Structure formats: structure tokens, C-alpha cells
Amino acid sequence: MIGNEQTLQEEYNAYVILNRIQDNRQHHNVMARFAFMVAAREIYNTLQIARVTNKNHATVIHAWKNHETNLKFDRQYLRHYNYCTEIVDKIRNECSTSEEITLRKENAKLLERLQNVREELQETRNALYIVQEQLNALNKDELCT
């Protein structure tokens, strides 16, 4: 059974308090709200989500359209989205979820892991570059003496 709009409102209020989301246009606040809107879109319509988040339905549609881009480029969005999908699952109160929803959650988690690996790879490359520069400096010193 799908929870009513009041249940979504209560969960959203708790989410806002827990994550200290302010009602302004700062990037991290917008991404946190967008993640909630997109996750809630699986079982609620745009007007219900808009009423709960105190935005209009066009904002919910905008969040939905930019979901894939946000997943790719914003690590905090990934974390918020994963957390919000758990909220929606709790509201849905179903033991078994559809295959598509399960795949979406797994995909979001894999994207988060991929982002972490990319960052680690970049750090390793930077460290390797520093070591290579040190080796080059040592080789120059040896040739000079």
C-alpha cells in the first residue's frame, strides 16, 4: 500500500531536519531537494511532491529531467538519492520491489562506487607524478656529479 501525502510530508520534514536543508538556492540544498523529488516520483505524482516540498510541479519535472546528469556529476546527489530511495521504500511498505526499482538503486550505488574509484585513481596519478618528478630530479643530480 502506498502511503498518503501526509506520510510523505512527515518523511520530507524529517529528511530536511536531518540533512539541514535550507529553503534557498545553494547548490547542496537544491540537490538534496531534487534527490527527494526524484525518489518520491516513483510512487507520487508531481503535484503531490510539489505540495510537500513547497515548490511547483515544474520544479519536480526539472529535477526528474536532470536526474541522470546529477547522478553523473554530483557525489552528494548520489548519497541523497540513495537515502531518499530508502525513504520511499519505507513508505511503499512492500516486502518485494519491482525489478526496475531494484536495478535503479543498484545502478545509483554502482555510480557512486565508480565516482569513488575515479577519485582514488586521480589521487594515485597525482602521487605517481610527484614520485616521477622526484626521480627525475635525482637522476639530474647524479648526472651533474
- For 5-15, what is each residue's pLDDT tens digit? 888 888 888 88
Residues with pLDDT less than 70, the chain: 1-3, 93-101, 145
CB 80 within 8 A of CB 36: yes
pLDDT at 8: 85
* Residue 98 pLDDT: 59
For helices 5-19 and 46-53, angle between their N-to-C axes, nearest 10 degrees:
50
38's grid cell: 526524484
Task: Tell how far CA 50 is from the center of its chain.
Answer: 20
Where does residue 85 rank: exposed (0-12), middle (13-18), buried (19+ CB within 10 A)? Answer: buried
pLDDT digits (tens, 9 = 90+) for 29-58: 899 999 999 999 988 889 999 998 989 999
How confident is the model at residue 97, as a pLDDT?
52
- pLDDT for res 1: 37
The CA distance from 35 to 71, in Å, is 9
